Structure 1
Amino acid sequence: MRHIMLGLVLGVALAMPAMAQERTIRLVSGYAAGGASDLVARLTAEAVGPLLGARVVVENRTGANGTIGAAEVARSAPDGNTLYQCPMSPLAIAPQLLGASLPVDPGEALAPIANLALSSYGFVVAAKGPYASVQDVLAAARARPGQVSFGSAGVGSAQHLSGELLKQKTGLQMVHIAYRGATPAVVDILGGRTDFMITNLADVARQVQDGALRLLALGDSGRSPVFPEARPLAEIVPGFDVTGWFGICGPRGMPAEVAGRLEAALRQAMAGDALPKRLAENGLTPLFEDAAALARRIESDRQTWRGVIQAVGVRAE
């Protein structure tokens, strides 16, 4: 019996270093569960956790157009254990809104690690509603100035700025309704309380496929592999062009070896079949870009949206 007990004690002792090495990585999404950011975060967590030998847990920290979650990550230790699903809105738009008072500027406080996907923006309406085309929506806005409404994930979100860009390009008066995330905005479109939304296809792909929403056009000049029949909105509204993206960032100050290990794991996940396939199934275009390429994309979009914000006068709430 003494030999058996000694063996058990030694077994536990030998296992302790392995258990001590097990870690949990927090991947923060700044938006509500069910939206595109949450989706990308969860797909990424599932794919990259085994490659890092860690349990990757998604946490939703909503508010202030994604910057509440970004601030939490920015204040975290730069050890690679707290990451942020960084979409376009909080990094390229929110800090530039007129009168913005945010906990951090995510574009300055976070370090890009890698981009995973591009996202076409879809112009969607309720399938049971009165609109069968973009022209129908624009005609209604022309006939009833200030009464046709569009939803967004919040003031200064990419959905909001996309609607403002549409107003700018058409000269029509339409009402913006801000929600705390894309999911509640979609719910109100389905319920007939909001007329339309221009949002990531990942936010609405399932509802379009199920026939609850009608996809009227795409925000960029490309074609969606999931919805190949959808035409560019620019064919109806010249000059309209919006493309989103979804990357992974961490706190500034991460050691090069930590950031490099995370980037390598993300690259490996994107080189496989599972993660790109799941992203594509949800209306996204899989595209791996390294940290330097994502940094350039962030800066380019900051310049683009700065022009729209200043021209339209979009103010933070």
Structure 2
Amino acid sequence: MKLFKSLALLVCMSTLPGLAGAASDPAASYPDKPVRVIVPFPPGGATDIVGREIADRLSRALGQPFVVENRSGASGNIGMEAAARSAPDGYTLVVGAPQTLTINPLLFKNSNFDPQKRLDPIVVVATVPNVLIISPKLQAKSVKDVINLAKQKPGKLNYGSSSIGGTPHLSSEMFKSMTGTFITHIPYRGSAPALADLMGGQIDLMFDNLPAALPHIKSGRIKALAVTTAQRSPSAPDLPTMIEAGVPGFESQGWFSLLAPAGTPPAILQKINTEVNKILATDTFKQRLDNVGGQAKGGSIADFRQLMDAEMQRWAKVIKFANITVE
């Protein structure tokens, strides 16, 4: 008799909309505790800037802290692998970029880590131009001046990059290949130390994501010559594109996204996607991104997958042409 009563009670509970929904929808109460957001690069770079901005807005929108944790190293692979090993419950997210999602898999031939299989895409948060910037000590006023200097002194000029394999690095190699110049590469561990050496004159030039470089451009500590996107950036409308500056066909950009460990419930992925798209549609967030050199992107999970496929094809060509390898 007690068994029948228990079964009847369960049946009655399952017919209550609220209880049934809570039992079947893991996103109904998400998040009910703090969420960790891994940034796989050091503080101060564009990935960190955009990651902190969206984490702050998600904290406000969803009522729980989204806490940024910088886990840098191995061109971003350490942080990405840390995220992939985490429980697929929605309480660990990671900020992805072209390097970690579409370039590293092409460069690290001996790696068993495939980020596109080990992580579930959620949404592309923002796109940013790369920008060609030079030391105040370099006697150049334009992109053509840089090309002429590089051709006059092959190998004497050097360029920095925030890491091996990032879009700034590959943009530099694309610049060399398209202009027939030889410029020595000096890789750094993160954008901030590279920018510090650029300002000090220890390196001559570099491409970097605009959000990281923009404060130093505005202060006059470094000089910007051109952005790498097909159109001028609203954040720096006076800067020409590389195409306008005399390098036909030159185009590249960075982008920043959110992902979760593979196997995270689709309902949670969709809930985060929906909330981020709402945030990106607000004038306040658009203005904030514009102030730091980015533009809101958004879109569906399927849109994100298509972007990764297209980017892998783009950078595979550059890597093959420049014969870029890493150990």
State TM-score, norm by structure 2: 0.87
Residue segments in structure 2 that go unaligned for 5+ positions in a row: 1-30
- Corresponding residue for residue 89 of structure 1: 99
Q: Are residues 1:296 and 2:306 paired?
A: yes
Q: 2:85 aligns with which of 51, 75, 92?
A: 75
**Contact in 1 for aligned 2:135/2:203 (Cα 8 Å):** no
Task: Give, in whole Å, the separation in 2 of the partners of 1:142 and 1:244.
Answer: 28
**Contact in 1 for aligned 2:127/2:296 (Cα 8 Å):** yes
Q: Are residues 1:222 and 2:231 paired?
A: yes
User: Which amino acid in structure 1 is aligned with residue 178 of structure 2?
Assistant: K
Task: Give, in whole Å, the separation in 1 of the partners of 2:146 and 2:95.
Answer: 33
- Corresponding residue for residue 175 of structure 1: 184
1:272-295, CA deviations, whole angstroms, 9 ceiling, x for partnerless residues? 233222111100011212211111
Cα offset for 1:152? Answer: 0.7
- Corresponding residue for residue 35 of structure 1: 45
Cα offset for 1:127? Answer: 3.4
Q: Are residues 1:54 and 2:64 paired?
A: yes
Provide the alpha-carbon RMSD of the alignment. 1.4
Task: Give, in whole Å, the separation in 2 of the partners of 1:252 and 1:37.
Answer: 21
**Contact in 1 for aligned 2:136/2:201 (Cα 8 Å):** no
User: Which amino acid in structure 2 is aligned with residue 43 of structure 1?
Assistant: E
User: Which amino acid in structure 1 is aligned with residue 46 of structure 2?
Assistant: A
- Corresponding residue for residue 233 of structure 1: 242
Cα offset for 1:267? Answer: 1.4
Q: Is 289-298 or 105-114 further displaced after alignment?
A: 105-114
User: Which amino acid in structure 2 is aligned with residue 138 of structure 1?
Assistant: I
User: Which amino acid in structure 2 is aligned with residue 285 of structure 1?
Assistant: Q
Task: Give, in whole Å, the separation in 1 of the partners of 2:281 and 2:164.
Answer: 36
For residues 1-317 of structure 1, the aligned pairs below 5 Å read 22-97=32-107, 100-102=109-111, 104-235=113-244, 236-317=246-327
Task: Give, in whole Å, the separation in 2 of the partners of 1:149 and 1:44.
Answer: 34
Specify the SS of the correspondent of 1:176: strand
Specify the SS of the correspondent of 1:147: coil
Cα offset for 1:53? Answer: 2.2
**Contact in 2 for aligned 1:118/1:284 (Cα 8 Å):** yes
Task: Give, in whole Å, the separation in 2 of the partners of 1:126 and 1:245.
Answer: 25
Cα offset for 1:22? Answer: 4.2
Cα offset for 1:269? Answer: 1.4
Query: 1:52 and 1:33, CA in 2 relative to 1: closer, same or farther beyond 3 A?
Result: same
**Contact in 2 for aligned 1:159/1:199 (Cα 8 Å):** yes
**Contact in 1 for aligned 2:135/2:198 (Cα 8 Å):** yes
Task: Give, in whole Å, the separation in 2 of the partners of 1:107 and 1:152.
Answer: 25
**Contact in 1 for aligned 2:142/2:225 (Cα 8 Å):** yes
Cα offset for 1:220? Answer: 1.4
Specify the SS of the correspondent of 2:155: coil
Cα offset for 1:108? Answer: 2.7
Query: 1:127 and 1:298, CA in 2 relative to 1: closer, same or farther beyond 3 A?
Result: same
Q: Is 182-191 or 263-272 further displaced after alignment?
A: 263-272
Specify the SS of the correspondent of 1:298: helix
**Contact in 2 for aligned 1:68/1:103 (Cα 8 Å):** no
User: Which amino acid in structure 2 is aligned with residue 63 of structure 1?
Assistant: G
Task: Give, in whole Å, the separation in 2 of the partners of 1:77 and 1:136.
Answer: 52
Q: State percent identity of aligned pairs.
A: 34
Cα offset for 1:100? Answer: 3.3
Task: Give, in whole Å, the separation in 2 of the partners of 1:281 and 1:156.
Answer: 27
Cα offset for 1:271? Answer: 2.2
User: Which amino acid in structure 2 is aligned with residue 182 of structure 1?
Assistant: S
Specify the SS of the correspondent of 2:186: strand
Q: Which portions of structure 1, spanning 4 or more consecutive aligned residues, are displaced by more than 3 angstroms?
A: 99-103
Cα offset for 1:231? Answer: 0.9
